[in-house]
Homo-oligomer: A and B are copies of this chain.
Amino acid sequence: MEVTVSRKAHFNAAHRLFNEKWSDKKNSDVFGKCNYPNYHGHNYELIVSVTGKINPDTGYVIDMGELKKIIKNEIEERLDHKNLNLDVPYFSNVIPSAENICIYIYDILRNYIQKEFHLSVKLYETPRNFVEYSGN
């Protein structure tokens, strides 16, 4: 009997999309406004979902307070009020698209969530654009 529990968090960051192997023109053609040189930014909304059996002693799949702390320490501390391209080493050679940020977050959180639990990460770049990654 498995239940999925989800926790919402958020961080604000700047980024721009560009591929360093491409000309300025090709970058502009492909990425449009997202390629503007001086960065733009988003209020990223993050939903972390963990699926597993309920612990009968607590009624919890996972302690939401613990999950909140992990998200704060491992994700918000790294990304909140940062420039993803300049301040986060991982994105020095990975394009900080919503898709890649979502995988980055998943890969960090995976280390803190017990192996027997399924993990899924949903990331809203805007209320109109969002992505989801579940590790495969």
Contacts and interface: CB of A to CB of B under 8 A. Distances in A.
Interface of A: 1-10, 12-15, 17, 19, 21, 30-34, 36, 38-43, 54, 57-61, 63-65, 80-83, 86-87, 94-100, 102-103, 126-133, 136
A48 to B, nearest CB: 11
A77 to B, nearest CB: 11
Nearest to A31: B58
A8 B5 CA distance: 18
27 contacts: A1-B103, A2-B133, A3-B132, A3-B133, A5-B98, A6-B129, A6-B130, A6-B132, A7-B128, A8-B127, A10-B126, A12-B42, A13-B40, A17-B58, A19-B58, A21-B57, A33-B80, A36-B83, A39-B39, A40-B82, A43-B43, A54-B99, A54-B103, A58-B95, A59-B96, A59-B97, A59-B99
Number of copies: 6
A97 B58 contact: yes
